[in-house]
Amino acid sequence: MALSDRPAERHREVAGLFTDRVRGTRSWNAPSPVAGWAARDVVRHLTEWFPGFLASGAGIELPHGPSVDEDPAAAWQVHCDGVQAVLDDPEAAHREFTNPHIGRLPLTAAIDQFYTSDVFMHTWDLSRATDQDDRLDPDFCTQLLGGMEQMEEVIRSSGQFGARVEVPDGADTQTRLLGFIGRDPFWSQR
């Protein structure tokens, strides 16, 4: 089933899958495909970078839950619910996000482009770290990969993505996306 193209609904779907993986996590200290990160750090990344991004670009303060060290699942849930509330607010459609690096965007588009897509990709990291189903929506993988390939130089120079990992010819879109963002699609903690 393809993900919605409406930012609030797409976040609900993407964050819902990530929430399922959070709930299915048995060991928060399990290593993840991101070098130096454990499963807990995947949640930490998502709950720590986005509040500042949203506050500085739109003046929106998200609610604070417990720390990820204290309770990763509760920290994620409070954060996730806060982001969804912003997207579900009818006023969000009329708000703007401003950033010196990316300019001005509608708030919902900025959340969708920078945050929801990050949650989507990190769902694979958490899934792999915790031996859960790591399949991602193939259509959204195609959409993200197509957009990212067009700006590869900018992406690589940002320092936010690792070096491209080569994948076999004919690899599916998820495998190609993972390789593009610097993940070894065949990573296993075993």
Residue 78 included in any domain: yes
In sequence order, what are the residues at sequence separation of 6 or more whose Cβ sits closer than 8 angstroms to the Cβ of residue 90? none
Residue 93 included in any domain: yes
Residue 143 included in any domain: no
The number of domains in the chain is 1
Q: How far is it, in rounded angstroms, from Cα 175 to Cα 75?
A: 30
Residue 77 included in any domain: yes
Residue 153 included in any domain: no
Residue 28 included in any domain: yes
- Structural domain boundaries, residue 130: 7-135
Which pairs from 146-155 meet CB under 8 Å and 24+ separation?
A: 148/177, 148/180, 148/181, 149/180, 152/180
pLDDT on residue 1: 60
CATH of the domain at 111: 1.20.120.450
Residue 142 included in any domain: no
Q: What string of pLDDT tens digits covers the 190 residues of the chain? A: 689 999 999 999 999 999 999 999 999 999 999 999 999 999 999 999 999 999 999 999 999 999 999 999 999 999 999 999 999 999 998 999 999 888 999 999 999 999 999 999 999 999 999 999 999 999 999 999 999 999 888 888 877 788 899 999 999 999 999 999 999 999 998 7
Residue closest to 114 by CA, chosen among 156, 172, 155: 155
Residue 89 included in any domain: yes
Structure tokens at 21: 């993986």
